[in-house]
Amino acid sequence: MARRRLGFWRRFVVVLVKPVLTGWTKRTWTGMEHIPATGGAIIVANHLSHADPVVVGHYLYDAGRWPSFLAKASVFRAPVVGYIISRCQQIAVERGTVDAARSLDSLVTAVKDGSSVIIYPEGTTTKEPDLWPMKGKTGAARLALTTGAPVIPIVMDGPQAMFDPRTHKVGLRPRIPVRVNAGPPVDLTRWAGAAPTRPTLDAMTEEIMLRLRDMLAEMRGVTDPPPLWSPPRKSNGAAPVVPNGEPV
């Protein structure tokens, strides 16, 4: 990324946010050689904390790429904030509406235009007690199948000390250790050209999530990580779900 081509608003965000993160965190960045220097890329990451986006955004910026996150379309309509994020190449998504299909079109366009799009396949911060990855949703797999862009796995540990979603405690001390590591693209070639059926998307998603889990286990020095887990569904008349994802 040519720093001189950032433009006013992206440069403004960098000047505003990066000094705060530099003082707040003690960073260990590894695996940056796996981040493509140019071209569209799908960045998939584990989701520990609401602080994850600023950490992975900082990592990608230092790796030479501008991070493009997904944000609810309503945020883009907010005064001032909406204007700034729209100028910073962030991506509006519709959730829970008939316009949801347009969100995939926006993502496909962003990737084909050369953006590095960050997706948290779990869809929310993990509910695992030790913050291991859960089973993922199929959006990243569908985007990969549609665009053919590389899926780059990123794992992080430490943002939970900046904000712990389990206790809602904010860590305000300086130099909180955070670690981020990127790995080689997830090998999804066996599904190249396949129809986006539910079994195909589920299998691709499991491949992505297992890579994230194993990379996090290596980062933590754990040799026997737990299986991927699905959180119980909210009560809506459906059968309750146990940790292995099967109905009771």
3-state secondary structure of 36: coil
Query: What average pLDDT does this structure show over 32-42?
Result: 97
In this prediction, residue 80 carries a pLDDT of: 84
In this prediction, residue 1 carries a pLDDT of: 54
pTM metric for this prediction: 0.89
User: Is residue 76 pLDDT above 70, yes or no?
Assistant: yes
Model confidence at 238, pLDDT cuts 50, 70, 90, reads very low
The answer to whether 175 and 115 have CB atoms below 8 angstroms apart is no
Q: C-alpha 237: how far from its chain's center?
A: 31
User: Is residue 245 pLDDT above 70, yes or no?
Assistant: no
The answer to whether 47 and 122 have CB atoms below 8 angstroms apart is yes
In this prediction, residue 242 carries a pLDDT of: 35
Model confidence at 246, pLDDT cuts 50, 70, 90, reads very low
Query: What average pLDDT does this structure show over 234-245?
Result: 44
Backbone angles phi, psi at 48, to 5 degrees: -95, -35
Quote the mean pLDDT of the chain: 89
Model confidence at 240, pLDDT cuts 50, 70, 90, reads very low
3-state secondary structure of 39: coil
H helices within the chain, ranges in order? 7-24, 52-62, 73-76, 81-87, 100-112, 139-147, 159-162, 198-220
